[in-house]
Chain A
Amino acid sequence: GQQVMQIPQYQHVQEGEDFTTYCNSSTTLSNIQWYKQRPGGHPVFLIQLVKSGEVKKQKRLTFQFGEAKKNSSLHITATQTTDVGTYFCAGPHNAGNMLTFGGGTRLMVKP
């Protein structure tokens, strides 16, 4: 079945440093979605990418969808302590909008 992998599993950064997490799917995706989960919280939808090679920005966050629609990345510029949490990518599961999630990248920011 479809598998979604994320690296790294953990990342410690100093506040102000950049951060990137990478997502790879075993199958071509119709779209890729990114979620953020704060410690003790639930996944919160960040963004969806649909087109091959698409790049979207949200303030300090830059999201990319690969040309082959099998990989994606999230880059955070100049991290802040408010960026702490686990970032998940997810792709649709077969037909419909049910999601297969990656294992997540846990970001820790030292002030």
Chain B
Amino acid sequence: DAGVTQSPTHLIKTRGQQVTLRCSPKSGHDTVSWYQQALGQGPQFIFQYYEEEERQRGNFPDRFSGHQFPNYSSELNVNALLLGDSALYLCASSLVTGSSTDTQYFGPGTRLTVL
């Protein structure tokens, strides 16, 4: 049973560039959430996708956008990169029943460095 997968593992970009990160959810899961984890901090919720729509969004600017495909995989796009966007980007999948107790399973993350 494949877990959550993310690509690429590492990425280096320069300020002003755009980046796309990819996530495949755990088999059987239909919901994908994205989190940003800066060094030494806890993950921060960016947004969640369900049925190909953004379901809820955290306190992140519009430079952060996403997409979910019919096969439940997801992309996170960040435009006009800033140095402060350097972080570990985590994807978490779950099978949504509408309950707050739905467990999220995290992927290994993509380490983004902005120079």
A→B interface (CB under 8 Å): 1, 4, 6, 30-31, 33, 35, 41-45, 48, 50, 88, 90, 92-104
Contacts and interface: CB of A to CB of B under 8 A. Distances in A.
Given A42-B108, A98-B58, A103 B41 contact: yes
A51 B101 CA distance: 12
Nearest to A4: B42
B74 interface: no
- The list of the 9 closest CB pairs from A to B, nearest first, reads A101-B42, A92-B100, A97-B102, A30-B100, A42-B106, A43-B106, A42-B109, A98-B45, A101-B43
B15 interface: no
A51 to B, nearest CB: 11
A45 B102 CA distance: 12
A102 B44 CA distance: 9
A33 B42 CA distance: 13
Chain B binding surface, main DSSP class: loop
Contacts of B98: 96
B66 interface: no
Chain A binding surface, main DSSP class: loop
A80 to B, nearest CB: 23
B94 interface: yes
Given A30-B100, A31-B101, A48-B101, A94 B56 contact: yes
B103 A98 contact: no
B99 A42 contact: no
A93 B90 CA distance: 17
B82 interface: no
B100 A95 contact: yes
Contacts of A104: 41-42
B19 interface: no
Interface string B32-46: 010100000111110
Nearest to B43: A101
A3 to B, nearest CB: 11
Interface in B69-115: 88, 90, 94, 96, 98-109
B68 interface: no
B42 A98 contact: no
